[in-house]
Chains A and B, each alone.
Chain A
Amino acid sequence: MKFKIQRDELLNALQQIIGAVEKRQTMPALSNVLIKATSDSLSLTSTDLEIELVTHLKMMIDEPGEITVPARKLLDICKALPADSDVNISIKGEKALVQSGRSRFSLVTLPAADFPSLDEINVGSEFELPQKTLKDIIDKTSFAMAQQDVRYYLNGLMLEISAKILRAVATDGHRLAYCEKETDCELSDIKQVIVPRKGVLELVRLLDNTEEKIKVILGSNHLRVELDNIRFTSKLIDGRFPDYNRVIPDDGQCIMTADREILRQALVRASILSNEKYRGIRLILEDNLVKLQAQNPDQEEADVEIEVNYKGESLEIGFNVNYMIEALNVTDSSMVQAAFRDSNSSCLLTFPELKDCKYVVMPMRL
């Protein structure tokens, strides 16, 4: 294998995939990057056995071949080389030679066949959508994913495609975030996957707010997203996601509408004196008025009132204030609507200007 590449191009490619390189050195091969050179293209692959990242570069190759080399060392070398320089990479015996100007480096290699790369995956359904749509749907939901819950199927983001609608749902049992978008997927049957938390966070790092189309493949074992020059693949969580329709309430009789930003700021103010561990606040609904009360173990108290649109019986309900604030943080809609049933039932947050997302927050007993 032998090729020549611009330092900036190589650096950029390495930086895109370094996120999947295993930081703990459990298997030496996983701290390596797989370099594959065919006659007219170069690809770099990294994996931590849960997610795989591959970048493709169209370029002339002097001599095709494949090899794995330590990823972080190669990246550090690239960073240290002067900008606009050229880098020559070749294999000599068991070593990979990296040469630029009058600097030469020889790196330990491992055979490419020992590297667990993934080419073909079983395709379940496949569709295209603008990059920013996928980014938006993840941004609006991923914050509600559970973290190391024993219900392992909650430690990820549920993606579902049916009848041209792509849905994302995340929940940790205490709150749930739901968002849906239209796509051009022609499939009529429902396909559902759960993407592990780590994969979701890595994927969103790759996405931009552009209209550029990307390809999404929901496989039986994998989620694959093909961007312009990078391919992301993640394993899935092997489990059944709970029936989200069952827990999104539709019978809230007490409906309150408020200015989203004013409500958010009021919650932030009240949260200062809530119990640092449980974050409980009391929300009291009265005629066109919301009172927020918080109390901490030092018996310090916060009382915040704001005006809202509310007609109906007065209601008192407790919440983890963080869950409320996080749900209000992800949109820039001007108004928010909250529907309550009673102080032991979940609250549904919706936004009149945004038909596609909803949030459910379970109350706390205070």
Chain B
Amino acid sequence: MSPNPQHWSRAIALIDMNAFFASVDQRDFPFLLGQPVGITNGMRGSCIITCSYEARAFGVHTGMRLREAYQLCPNLVQRPARPKVYARVSTHIMKAIHNICPDIEVFSVDEAFIDITPSQRLYGSPEKAAQLLKTAVYETSGLLCSVGLSGDKTTAKYAAKLNKPDGFTVIPPWESRERLRYVPVTELCGIAEGMGGFLAGYGVRNCGDMEKLPISILAKRFGNLGRRIWYMCQGEDPDPLHIDVAAPKSIGHGKVMPPNTRSREVVLTYLQHMCCKVGARLRKHELEARTFWVGLHTKFGWTGEKIRLPLMSNDSRKIFQHGKRAIEFHWKGEGVHQIQVTALDPQPVAMQLDMFASNPEQQLQEKMLHKAMDSINQRYGEFTLSPARLLNRSDMPNVIAPAWKPEGHRQTI
């Protein structure tokens, strides 16, 4: 590639809000400035959602238990999260960025990818455009951010991580490969431990080692994702910006079953498992749905039906009850090898209170029960608490990946 300092063939910036929640709180409550702040889910939350740089200096980090954090940093100031405020600030920031470069992928509440390629000419150079974005963020929100600029998403994200907080790191595309050479592959966004282990098995620890591995090995094992990773490690992540992140159209879970499963008990167990997952996911995002697709894949193809609940719900038990009916209606005992449960057209949980809610006490209790279960499962792992039928089944791997990516629903906070 010919080094042209003026215009890049592709220029991607990542804007990462530094310790976003903590920074917003420090901005809004000046007495927190300079203090080690730990944000938890309400005052009762026992996990650090995020913490200020002052706290990070003590070794406190996201996901740490509060008790542990106090041991490291006795002066830690615990603050309850204010999700609505963060969301509002985030929206304002994203809007400001949008006004400078319209091609923006909101990756999470505090991160966004911006495609500068089309506007680099307008602002003079990619660096100038990126600098403009950084200034805009500060002017809109009074918050500092780290900017990473490079020729692809992965390198941009890596670059942003290099200088925190308030960083501005540029890795021109023609330098990407060299810069990544000695970076462990697991540092790259999207390579989790499982894949890291697989790569290590082939002697690939740093990105530079990837050259030695034929792309076909990754393609065979992980499909397109594998191919992408192969390129990613060489500073040529081909992934485009996902600009139109629509509201979720559906939330679904599917699973491959032992081949030719004919046992009703086993099918129902899997069904309940999927219903629990769909329900938990709906509840997590404060959504509910009325129509669900329940399907079994047999050698004759998919069989199943859209079921309609009497009322909007995100109660796993209710979804299971109705799903069971659908299965009993459609399944004649033929061998099943896959199951799928999908909530169609999920909507935000009804905010309107009802005066005759069949039994307000009981309804409230059910909500509390779900809440308690969800929070236990969130902390100790999925299906720590679950219907008896599902105990010891949490090792079943998920096969169909979640198909939707709404704004702010990713777990990168």
Contacts and interface: CB of A to CB of B under 8 A. Distances in A.
A and B touch in the complex (CB under 8 A): yes
Interface string B339-354: 0000000000001111
Contact of B353 (A242, A299, A344): A344
Interface string A326-366: 00000000000000000010100000000000001011111
B401 interface: no
B356 A299 contact: no
Nearest to A323: B352
A36 interface: no
A176 B355 contact: yes
Contacts of B1: none
B311 interface: yes
B256 to A, nearest CB: 36
A146 to B, nearest CB: 10
Interface in B136-184: none
B397 interface: no
A365 B351 CA distance: 5
Contact of B311 (A150, A299, A363): A150
A311 interface: no
Nearest to B353: A362
Contacts of A344: 353
B355 A174 contact: yes
B318 to A, nearest CB: 14
Interface string A252-288: 0000000000000000000000000010100000000
A173 B311 contact: no
Q: Which of B88, B311, B356 has the most CB of A within 10 A?
A: B356
A156 to B, nearest CB: 15
A247 B355 CA distance: 7
Interface in A293-336: 299, 318, 320
Nearest to B84: A366
A246 to B, nearest CB: 9
A278 B348 CA distance: 10
A152 B310 CA distance: 12
B75 interface: no
A344 B364 CA distance: 13
Contact of B351 (A280, A346, A360): A280
Contacts of B91: 299
A334 to B, nearest CB: 28
A151 interface: yes
A31 interface: no
A171 interface: yes
Contacts of B355: 171, 173-174, 176, 247, 346, 360, 362
Contact of B354 (A173, A299, A366): A173
Contacts, number: 40
A366 B354 CA distance: 15
A150 B358 CA distance: 12
B171 to A, nearest CB: 34
Given A150-B310, A150-B311, A173 B351 contact: no
A242 B356 CA distance: 8
A364 B352 contact: yes
B144 to A, nearest CB: 23
A247 B351 contact: no
Contacts of A365: 351, 353
Contacts of B310: 150
Given A150-B311, A299-B91, A320 B356 contact: no
A171 B311 CA distance: 18
Nearest to B310: A150
Nearest to B88: A299
Nearest to B349: A365
B178 to A, nearest CB: 43
Contact of B356 (A151, A278, A363, A364): A151
B351 A278 contact: yes
A279 to B, nearest CB: 9
B351 A366 contact: yes
Contacts of B351: 278, 280, 318, 364-366
A320 B357 CA distance: 17
Contacts of A363: 353
Nearest to A247: B355
B352 A362 contact: yes
A87 to B, nearest CB: 51
B142 to A, nearest CB: 18
Nearest to B247: A297
Interface in A148-202: 150-151, 171, 173-174, 176
A1 to B, nearest CB: 50
Interface in A119-173: 150-151, 171, 173
Nearest to B311: A150
B311 A364 contact: no
Contacts of B354: 173-174, 362
A253 B340 CA distance: 51
Contacts of A171: 355-356
A271 B64 CA distance: 44
B311 A278 contact: no
A366 B351 CA distance: 7
Nearest to B358: A151
B311 A174 contact: no
Nearest to A280: B351
A174 B95 CA distance: 35
A173 B355 CA distance: 5
A94 B354 CA distance: 56
Contacts of A366: 351
Interface in B76-119: 88, 91, 95
Contacts of B357: 173
A320 B355 CA distance: 14
Given A344-B353, A364-B353, 9 more contacts: A171-B355, A171-B356, A173-B357, A174-B354, A174-B355, A318-B351, A360-B355, A365-B353, A366-B351
22 contacts: A150-B310, A150-B311, A151-B356, A171-B355, A171-B356, A173-B354, A173-B356, A174-B352, A174-B353, A247-B355, A278-B351, A299-B88, A299-B91, A318-B351, A320-B352, A344-B353, A346-B353, A346-B355, A360-B355, A364-B351, A364-B352, A364-B353
Interface of A: 150-151, 171, 173-174, 176, 242, 247, 278, 280, 299, 318, 320, 344, 346, 360, 362-366
Which 10 A-B pairs have CB atoms at the shortest separation, nearest pair first? A173-B354, A247-B355, A362-B353, A364-B351, A365-B351, A364-B352, A150-B310, A173-B356, A242-B356, A362-B355
Interface of B: 88, 91, 95, 310-311, 351-357
